[in-house]
Structure 1
Amino acid sequence: MGVFDRGRRWLGRRTAPAAEVPPVEDLTDAELQDRVAALLAAELGPAEPGEEHPTSVTPARIAAWMTDHDFSYFVDNDGDLGGLWRGRLFYFFLFGERSEILQVRGQWHREASIERLEEVLDLCNEWNAERIWPKAYVRVRDNGRVHVVSEVAVDLEHGATDAQLGQLLYCGLSTGSMLFDALDERYPDPAGVAP
């Protein structure tokens, strides 16, 4: 029995005895969605409409969030919005035909030698296998130095409320910092280590 089948059986048991409603397998998609909504309402309480409607994400909204939270930011020569968070450089990009994909991209403030490429790749792969955010990867520069990058991207085709946008920005910054903290722990700065 697959995970989906077990989930359908669990859902059928949780909502009502089998004698009162048809088995989950016999429900249409709309009926199944209604049953899921009823289960969520019973478990979490009824949904309350938000006071705010999602709107398009713009660089101005991102900058306003930064200002509201006392984060300094800059706009570089290419017009990209960036800032420092705990001493690490992060950029905030909007991609897609309608600039609907928000990406928070961070860069570790240190670099590794090319000889450490394999072990840094292993660390990134391990991170990606165990965590949802951020995506971790490396870039090898022309000078042979290895830079580690964090990335959180989300499709906001239908926009985001201020609270949602703030949560996504904070997610990108905080999870990127967690990755960089793990790198700092694995590779202590020689200047910070006593001889």
Structure 2
Amino acid sequence: MDADYTVEGGDVYGRWEQGIFQFSDLGERDAEPVLQVHGTWELVLPEDAYPQAALFCNEWNAVNAWPKAYAQIEEVEHVVGIFGETTVDLTAAPTAEQVELVVSQGIGTALLLFDAAAEAFPDARAIE
């Protein structure tokens, strides 16, 4: 897909536009692969914005199948992150085309989520 990425352990990491992405196989040993595309918005909110961020994610999930959106408080930095996850149970021998489709869909829909978050939270700041 002509993307810059790094590999750590069994996971692959990359950055697209306003998101940081992790690609993981969540399948159990000797089971069919379960591919997860986990996106982290590159901006964060103050801790007291958690209720608004959770509501934003719930509203997103009510009208969008992908990605699953959620907000979470980062306990060390005391900021709120917004995340998008697309998880697909693949066949025992997925084709390169199937994997590419899941990855493209996971990245694309997460970037739509992050665009909507940027519009909803114009005062968000960069992750430090």
Q: TM-score range by the shorter chain?
A: 0.7 to 0.9
Query: Displacement, 1:90?
Result: 0.2
Report matched runs for 1:93-132 at 5 Å: 93-97=24-28, 98=31, 100-132=33-65
Matched, 1:153 2:83: no
Q: 1:165 aligns with which of 65, 78, 99?
A: 99
Q: Which has the higher contact order (CA 8 A, sep 6+)?
A: 2
Change (3 A) 1:190 1:157: closer
Q: Decide which structure has the larger Cα Rg and report it.
A: 1
Partner of 2:15: 84
Q: Identity over aligned residues, as a percent? A: 35
C-alpha RMSD of matched pairs (Å): 1.7
Number of positions where the alignment pairs a residue of Structure 1 with one of Structure 2 = 122
TM-score (norm 1): 0.58
Query: Displacement, 1:80?
Result: 2.2
Q: Greater share of helix residues, 1 or 2? A: 1
Matched, 1:177 2:111: yes
Report SS of the residue matched to 2:20. strand
| C-alpha separation in 1, matches of 2:66 and 2:124 | 28
Contact 2:118–2:124, Cα closer than 8 Å, also in 1: no
Amino acid at match of 2:6: F
Change (3 A) 1:94 1:133: same
TM-score (norm 2): 0.87
In structure 2, list runs of 5 or more residues that go unmatched: none
Matched, 1:144 2:75: no
Matched, 1:73 2:5: yes
In structure 1, list runs of 5 or more residues that go unmatched: 1-68
Report SS of the residue matched to 2:43. coil
Query: Displacement, 1:189?
Result: 4.6
Amino acid at match of 1:72: D
Q: Greater share of strand residues, 1 or 2? A: 2
Q: Which region of structure 1 is more displaced relative to structure 2, 134-143 or 172-181?
A: 134-143
Amino acid at match of 1:71: A
